[in-house]
Amino acid sequence: MTTRMAKTHQLGARVWGALFLVPFLISAGVPSSSDPIVDAVKNGDVDAVRHLIESGADVNAAEGDGMTPLHWAAGRGDVEVARLLLEAGADVSAGTRIGTYTPLHLAVERGHTAVSKLLIDAGADIAATTANGWATPLHLAAAAEEGEDIVAALIEAGADVNEKEKAAGQTPLIFAASYGRTESVKRLLAAGADPAATTRVVDALDQLREDLSAAAALSEKLDAVESPGPTQVQAAIREQRASLSDPEPELVSTVFERPTALIGPGSERGASGIGAREFLVRRTGGMTALLHVAREGHIDAAMALLDGGADVNQVSAADAASPLVIAALNGRFDLMLRLLERGADPTLATSTDGVTPLFAVLQTRWPTVSDYPNRLAHLQQKAHHLDVMEALLQAGADPNVRLKTHIWYWEHGGDIGVDLTSATPLWRAAIAQDVEAMRVLATYGADPEIPTTVAPELIRHGRTPDGRGQDDSGLPPVPEGEPDVFPIHAAAGGGWLGQGSFKMRGVPDGFLAAVKFLVDDLGVEVNAVDSWGYRPLHYAAVRGDNEMVRYLVSKGADVTALSRLGQSAADMTRGGKVGVWARNKYPDTQELLVSLGSPLVCEHTFIREGGYFCPVAGTTSFEDRYGFSKEPLTERSPDELYTSVRLLEEIYDYARRVDSDSPPAEGNTSAGQ
C-alpha cells in the first residue's frame, strides 16, 4: 500500500529529516579548526572576525568537509558576521563536499530569516539544489519552523513554488504540509502552489530489480580486488552508480502476477524467492500534500490545504490510498473526523489490497507487536477508535467490504501464519477480541460469518506445510479462494498460536467474551470448520482455555471432531510437534476434554516434511468408532490409505451437513471448505 507507514517514509517528506542533519555540526562546542577565521566565526566573535579580515585572512577558507566561514555564519544565523564576510568577498555559491549545501541552504533550513534575506540580496542562487536530495532553498524553507517569511522572500525573488526535487518528486508545498508549517502552506498556495501535485511513483519489483542490479555491480567490482581499500571501494561505488543509468537492465520477467524467472542481473531470486512483500506492495509514492499531512496528523495544515483547493478525496497515484485511509493507518483519528466533516468519502478503498478507512482504524488500534516501537499516535487522540468507526458507518462506510489481499505491513512483527485475504472489519475486530467494535459493526449490518479466503499460492507467506495444499492429509487440497478462517475461529484464538501468542494484540482476557457475543448475540455456529479442519473448540483447547471449552460444549460443540490432519481437540493440549514448533501442554484441559468424550488420536500434527507423523489411529476406541487401522498413514498400502481417506472425508461430509443443515453437493468430498 503506497504511502503507508514504513513504506511511505522512503518517499515521504519525512526522509528529509535525515538530510537536514547535514554532515556537519553547527554549535558552540565544535572542535577547533586549523584556520583562525573559521574558529572565530564558529564562536560568533565579531571583533576577531573583523580583525582577521583586516589582517588578510582568506574568507573562503574551507574545512575538510567544505564548510566555509560563510556556511558557519549562515547556519548560526549570525547576520553581523555574515555581512562582514560578504563585504570581504565571501563566496555565496560555495558548496559543501557532502551534499553541496550552500550557505543559503543552511540558513533557510534553520529558519534564520535575516541572514537568509541577506544572502538572497547578495546574489545567492535561489534555485541551487543539494546533491544528496536535490532540494532547493524553497523546499528547505518550507519545512523550517517559522520559515514563512523566508518562503515569502524566496517567492518574491522568483523561486518556483512547484519545483519538484528529484529524489521523490516532492514540491515545497509537500515539504511544508509534512512538517505542519501552516503559514508556509498558506503562502505557497497564495503564490500558485499546486495542491494536486504528486510525488514520483515507484514500482516495487522495478525497485527490487534495481537494488539487485546495484548490489551485483558493486560485488563484481569488489570481488575483482583481493583486499579492496578505500580507493577501490569508492571507485566501485562510482561504477555501480554509473551502471544504474542504464534504463533497461537485463530483465527476464517483471510481471507481478506470475514472475517466472530471475528479476535482473546478479539475482538468484526466482519466482519463489521474490517473496510476498513485493507482490503486496506493488507501487509506492504518488502522494499529494494532503496525503502527507494526513499521515502526520497536522489538522491546521490540512484545513489550510482544503481551504486552498485541495481535493479531500484525491487518492494516491500508486495505490489509490485516500486521505482518510492514510490518516487511519497512522492513528490520526481526530483528523479523520475533520476530514469527514469536509466531505471525505469513507467508501474509498486502496486499489492493491482493498483497505478501507474502517478496516484501517481497527488495524491501527490493534497492530501486531513488532520488534521496534509501534506507532502510538492513536493513543494521543481525543477521539476513540469506536467514535471514528461510528462516524465512518454513519457516513456510509460498508461494514462488509473484504480485503483483496493480505496486507504487507501485518508482517512488521514477523510472520505469524495469519493471512488476511478477504477479511472484513468484523473479522479484524474478532481476532482482537474487540467486542465493542464488533457490536458497533453488527449494529450497522456487519455479517459475522464472512471468512477470510485461501490466498493465491504465489503470494502466500512462507510457513510450514499445513496439509491444505499438500497431500499430507490425504484429502484434496483446499483451492484458492475457498473459505479459510471464520470470525469465530479468529475470536477463539486462531492466530494466537506459536509466534502469534507473543505477536498478537487484543482486548485482555477477551477470548470468551468475543466468542459468546458471536454465538449468543449473533447466532454464529459453534462447529464452524476452517480450512485446516479446526473448529473453535480446537483453538480453545490449544490455549488451555477450560472456561471456553465448557462454554462451547454447552452450546453443542462436537468434541469428537478431527482436523484435516487427524487431530481432536484433546490432541491440541498434548504439547505435540508442529513442524519445528511444539505446542504448550495443558494437562487439565486434556483431562477435561477426554472426560467430555474427545479422543486422543494424534499427539503430533502430521506434516510430511516435519518428521512427526500422525498415526490417525492412535487408540483402540478411535479404531472401533471410525474403522481406521492402527498403522501410521505413511506405512499403509495405497488401498488402505484410500480407505482411510475416504472414511475421513465421510466424517467431514457429515460435519458439513450438521453445520449447514443441508445435504452436501453431489461429488463434493473435500474437507474443511
Fold of 5-191: 1.25.40
How many residues in the chain? 673
Which has more confidence, 131 or 414?
131
Share of the chain above pLDDT 70, in %: 69
In the prediction, which pLDDT does 669 show? Answer: 30
Per DSSP, what are the bridge partners of residue 283?
203
> What is the DSSP code (8-state) at residue 374?
P
**pLDDT tens digits along 585-614:** 999 999 999 999 998 888 887 655 555 556
Taking all residues of the chain, what is their mean pLDDT, rounded to a whole number?
80
Q: Which residue has the higher pLDDT, 481 or 549?
A: 549
Helices (H) and strands (E) in the chain, counts: 31, 4
Mean predicted confidence (pLDDT) in 486-507:
86
Cα-flanking dihedrals φ and ψ of residue 607, to 5°? Answer: -125, 120
pLDDT in the model for residue 249: 35
Please, what sign has the CA dihedral across residues 374, 378, 380, 385?
A: negative
Domain ranges of the chain: 5-191, 202-284
| Better pLDDT: 431 or 22 | 431
Evaluate if residue 269 carries a pLDDT over 50. no
Q: How confident is the model at residue 397 (pLDDT cuts 50, 70, 90)?
A: very high
Cell of 384: 476513540
Which residues make beta-bridge pairs with 612?
Answer: 607
For 649, phi then psi, to 5°, come to -60, -40
Q: What percent of the chain shows pLDDT beyond 90?
A: 56
**Helix/strand/coil (H/E/C) assignment for every residue in 455-512:** CCHHHCCCCCCCCCCCCCCCCCCCCCCCECCCHHHHHHCCCCCCCHHHHCCCCCCCHH
- Range among 49-63, 443-457, 461-475, 629-643 rated most confident: 49-63
For residue 193, what pLDDT is reported? 99
CB 222 within 8 A of CB 232: yes
Tens digits of residue pLDDT in 334-382: 999 999 999 999 999 999 899 999 999 999 999 988 777 777 899 999 9
Determine the pLDDT at residue 503: 81
pLDDT at 167: 87
When mean pLDDT is compared over 207-211, 323-327, 450-454, the highest value belongs to 323-327
pLDDT at residue 472 is higher than 70:
no
Q: What pLDDT score does 548 carry?
A: 98
Q: What is the pTM of this model?
A: 0.80
The per-residue pLDDT for 225 is 64
pLDDT at residue 398 tops 60? yes
Q: CA torsion sign, 343 to 347 to 351 to 355?
A: positive
Q: What is the pLDDT of residue 240?
A: 52
Q: What is the pLDDT of residue 199?
A: 96
For 286-319, write each residue's pLDDT tens digit: 999 999 999 999 999 999 999 999 999 999 999 9
pLDDT tens digits for range 46-88? 999 999 999 999 999 999 999 999 999 999 999 999 999 999 9
Cα gap 284→8, rounded to integer Å: 7
In the structure grid, which three cell numbers stand for residue 60, read together? 573562503
Q: Residue 417: pLDDT above 90?
A: no
Instruction: Give residues with Cβ within 8 angstroms of 75, minimum separation 6.
Output: 24, 26, 103, 106, 107, 110, 112
Distance CA 577, CA 567 (A): 12
Mean pLDDT confidence for 133-141: 95
